[in-house]
Structure 1
């Protein structure tokens, strides 16, 4: 591959090639009846410029003319589009993963007023990343936005390790309704476990009934596999009440993400 064919996406380096690329795309979308004025309006050049480019594309064999206002992109033109589109895709991937990805910006909650460019210490509290002015914490960053106390602030240039413990996940498996459902659970035990948890999630109607029997309204009822995993990775202790038929789906997801859990027997 030559330098011009590299991930630099040479179609972007040449205004002429970039315009030809856009015109070919517009013709492919509209063919065979193509209005030069519509193409001009779509890409922001004059109708005369479109006409000049069309003559050139016809000479190169990229476009075939079938009559007044009737054009078609040839196989050679399609091949040219495909090759340049592939390079553009590679370039976009390079920019998004290797360029933009290196300038990571996270969002934190400001504990007090913060100015753009100010050094901050990061901490995890109640499952939320927090930023505090100063560099006394184990993990630091630099604010990229101003923020009032209690509002969101963008931070980057991370250093150190965020010092916090992963949350515990406790799972209570409940039988289906035809095997007793919530009535087969030790509701006092459920209430005791829920009192010690930061977050209560239920998966299944039997689990919802058990939570309400324990006089607790769940924090989560849907998407619990992902939510419980994320809560634990953010330092929250989660209690999951789950119908036995859904248990494997939740435990598999936790194991895949290396989140430890404990299954507690809450049967009467």
Structure 2
């Protein structure tokens, strides 16, 4: 008998690129939902957001309020719109810490292996954080009413002011996502996030910029928080003149939206680049 050899040929096929099966919308919503579930399962986070908002409002309302005579309106009516607007920056460092913690625990490493758009992963984070910002803004506004703030504008203007705060918060979230991706750990992220405080205090949030020294006034007048506070205050008071502002409400709102768009245009691509760099 003759052994008959059977020749076999093995063809090596090139590995196909992973197919992105999940849409951007689905991916973003899943990431946002995961973040909100994590937030709701941590009662201490809800308590801290309430406590921090109360502390800041009470300190400025009752410690500084008696020493400041604004003239046109009670100081509390000038203060609270600025407090509501800056609450988005006071809450936003939590974004940087959360992003850094997810990086430390390998969450992003697992996501990179999935066939999903990278931009959707960060967009979902920003969307979930925006819901948390909306909660913080609502809490601060409620505390403001409790300590004596009263609207001078219409209900529609008040709702527009609330929506503007959330939009501005969404813009700043992208900045803090970048901070979290750069920091590498929660402690560093918390420390780097303190760069937001000069923006908060060197602004029109708590006092008119005209009361500041000349060099500081220039800085305060040409930064986004002042513009955003002026817009929210104009809507809440119904008349920018009551806040000592020369321009119209439309001017301040438009400028705030332009600032927000510019911040997103700068930091969203940077966040995506930082995320991809980690692959």
Which of 1 and 2 has greater Rg?
1
Asked if these proteins are the same fold (TM beyond 0.5), I'd say no
Q: Structure 1 or 2: larger strand share?
A: 1
TM-score, with structure 1 as normaliser:
0.18
Structure with the bigger RCO (C-alpha within 8 Å, sep 6+) is 2
Q: Structure 1 or 2: larger helix share?
A: 2
TM-score, with structure 2 as normaliser:
0.18
